[in-house]
Amino acid sequence: MAPGHVGRSNRQNTGFACDRTNWESIEPGKSNSPKSYKLKLRILPRPSAILGAMPRLAHFRAKHDAHAVNAAEASAAILHVDMDAFFVSVELLARPELKGKPVVVGGQPDQRGVVTSASYEARRFGVHSAMPLRTARKLCPQAIFLDGHHELYGQWSDRVAAILAKYSPIVEMASIDEAYLDLAGTERLHGPPLSVANKLLCEITSTTSLPCSGGLGASRLVAKVASDQAKPRGLVWVPAGSEPAFLAPLAARRIPGIGKVTDSALKAFGVETIAQLQVFSQERLEELFGRWGTALYRKARGIDSYEFFVDAEAKSLSHNQTFGTDTNDPEKLHATLSYLCQKVGKRTRDAGLHARTITLTVRFANFDTITRSHTLAEPSDLDSVFLKTVLDLFAQAWRGKALLRLVGVALTGFSAGSGQLDLLDPGRRDKLERLARTTDRLRDKFGFSKLQLGGSLSKRPERE
């Protein structure tokens, strides 16, 4: 992605970053139309050379065909959306008089619980999530403490997910209030990624009255850090090539995956900021941290291909699809499940892992949600194995009539090394392994959605 998305005449890589768009808050009941807002552009240091700063595929294509570079840039447009103070914001829908006040969700301050969400006004007093409620009261005695309503948060999360689904066929809800959208290939339909991001955030706020922020970048890592920087009510765009400059001034801890332990290990080497981490060679980081050092080297530059591997302790990997319109079309549902299995399968293989337990999630139009799991006799990393299980589970969970708003596939029970293959006959095993390797290579090169297999192609899941 390059400034070309703002205007073709800007195509040279000058490295603009759109910072803090700060669209106005929309008062519930006052107006339902998205308001326009200003883009504040921050100029980042110019990358040393245009080609050197491009992702590898763009670099390769640039030598041949300028038009193809646009496609390559577009193919790396990831938007991370995260709702601002989500639980608090949902509570404020019913109690608008608390707007602008320090509000804490999690329970009453004399209870033993912790803060789940704090309004930005409460954060000024040092209150934050996971802090004991009693500590929050000490820091901010005037704060208003509210109990949580989890079912409600789930419903609002689904409403936001349904809006996101209108903008991209590939939406991964990473948690109750955040999602990654792959905007690759949506340009013809919706326009350049930056304006899609803008429209999308405005639509969320105008439709739900819930504030949110976004980060747009060429990798998930950069998009996530960018949305964090944008908060509250902001949008930060990091053009391809400016990732190291964007990350440099931030604390090392801002990198997803760097927790307390790594942070204090880095501090012991005098590393507080990402700029200081960027000084270390890959070899040195590997000497100090082993395989994690390789990941740190890449993360400091905004590259996230090892993201899942190093975060494998997360223990679960899932992809969901919220349909733009609720559906009971069996072909579409099967195609979507096939697609989701391919997504989780690829990430499992990228991480060098095998999964043992497969969980299907089915959410009905009325938000009722059921999950069904199956544990394999031997772990596997093959899409076809996951799909067979998922379709069996789906046949139990859905009787073919009810409208569905979401389906999801999750894997758990990971182990390294080989698994299920031993149960297959050697010819079929080789064929499946070769197929998986080839499709993974092509997808690494051209983007996941450029290559569709079998069921997900012929039956058209909810995508382009």
* Minimum CB distance to ligand TTP smaller for 111 or for 458: 111
Nearer to ligand TTP, 149 or 388 (CB): 149
Give the residue with the Cβ less far from ligand TTP, 130 or 268: 130
> CA of 166: how far to CAs of 7, 163, 463, in Å?
24, 5, 10
103 interface partner picked from ligand TTP, Mg ion, none, CB below 5 to 8 A per type: none
The nearer residue to Mg ion, 13 or 89, going by C-beta atoms, is 89
Instruction: Select from 83-91, 119-127, 157-165, 354-362 the region that touches Mg ion (CB under 5 A).
Output: 83-91
Sign of CA dihedral 163, 373, 451, 354: positive
What stretches of 30-123 adopt beta strand conformation (E)? 40-43, 78-83, 103-105, 117-118
Least distance to ligand TTP, CB of residue 168, Å: 20
- The nearest distance, CB 223 to ligand TTP, in angstroms, is 14
Least Cβ distance, residue 16 to ligand TTP (angstroms) = 25
Residue nearest to Mg ion (CB): 178
DSSP three-state, residue 360:
strand
- Of 23 and 339, CB closest to Mg ion: 23
In the complex, the smallest distance separating the C-beta of residue 105 from ligand TTP, rounded to whole angstroms, is 7
State the Cα–Cα distance between residues 115 and 107, nearest whole angstrom.
8
Judged by CB under 5 A, the residue of 57, 69, 70, 86 near Mg ion is 86
Residues annotated catalytic, as ranges: 178
Q: In sequence order, which residues have a C-beta less than 8 Å from that of residue 247 and are 6 or more positions away? A: 222, 225, 254, 255, 274, 278, 300, 301, 302
| Residue of 44, 50, 83, 165 that binds Mg ion (CB under 5 A) | 83
Q: At what angle do helices 282-289 and 291-299 cross, to 10 degrees?
A: 140
Choose among 351, 246, 334: nearest CA to 291. Answer: 351
The site partner of 145 among ligand TTP, Mg ion, none (C-beta below 5 to 8 Å per kind) is none
> How many residues belong to the chain?
464
Interacting span for Mg ion (CB under 5 A) from 81-89, 136-144, 281-289, 384-392: 81-89
Q: Please state, in angstroms and rounded to a whole number, the distance separating the CA atoms of residues 389 and 358.
A: 7
CB of 116 to ligand TTP, least distance (A): 3
Output the smallest distance, CB 149 to ligand TTP, in A.
12
Sites of contact with ligand TTP (CB under 6 A) = 82-87, 116-117, 129-130, 176-178, 231-232
271 binds, among Mg ion, ligand TTP, none (CB under 5 to 8 A by kind): none
Output the smallest distance, CB 117 to ligand TTP, in A: 3
Nearer Cβ to Mg ion, position 178 or 383? Answer: 178
- Name the residue type at position 436: A
Chosen from ligand TTP, Mg ion, none, partner binding at 231 (C-beta under 5 to 8 Å by type): ligand TTP
Residues 143-182 close enough to bind Mg ion by CB under 5 A = 177-178
According to CB under 5 A, which one of 19, 73, 82, 304 is a site residue for Mg ion? Answer: 82
Smaller CB separation from ligand TTP, 83 or 310: 83
Q: Which is nearer to Mg ion, 92 or 355 (CB)?
A: 92
308 binds, among Mg ion, ligand TTP, none (CB under 5 to 8 A by kind): none
Apex CA 252: angle with CA 232 and CA 302, to 5°? 80
Cβ of residue 123: shortest distance to ligand TTP, in angstroms? Answer: 8
Contact partner, 14, from Mg ion, ligand TTP, none, Cβ < 5-8 Å per class: none
The binder of 462, among ligand TTP, Mg ion, none, by C-beta within 5 to 8 A per type, is: none
The answer for residues whose C-beta is within 8 angstroms of residue 181's C-beta and 6 or more apart is 78, 79, 80, 81, 164, 167, 168, 170, 171, 172, 200
Partner from Mg ion, ligand TTP, none contacting 235, C-beta within 5 to 8 A by type: none
Pick the stretch among 29-37, 84-92, 256-264, 413-421 that binds Mg ion (CB under 5 A). 84-92
How many positions of this chain bind Mg ion (CB under 5 A)? Answer: 5
Nearest C-alpha neighbor of 295 from the set 309, 284, 281? 309
Cis check for the bond before 232: say yes or no (omega within 30 of 0).
Answer: yes
Dihedral sign for Cα atoms in the order 158, 317, 456, 224: positive
CB of 92 to Mg ion, least distance (A): 14
The entry of ligand TTP, Mg ion, none that residue 383 binds, CB within 5 to 8 Å by partner kind: none
The gap between the terminal CA atoms of the chain, to the nearest Å, is 20
Burial class of 328 by CB neighbour count within 10 A (0 to 12, 13 to 18, 19+): middle
84 contacts 120 by C-beta, under 8 angstroms: yes
User: Quick one: 224 or 343, whose CB is closer to ligand TTP?
Assistant: 224
CB-based burial of residue 338 (10 Å sphere; 0-12 exposed, 13-18 middle, 19+ buried)?
buried
Question: How far does Cα 92 stand from its chain's mean position?
Answer: 26
Distance CA 407, CA 314 (A): 21
Site residues (vs Mg ion, CB under 5 A): 82-83, 86, 177-178
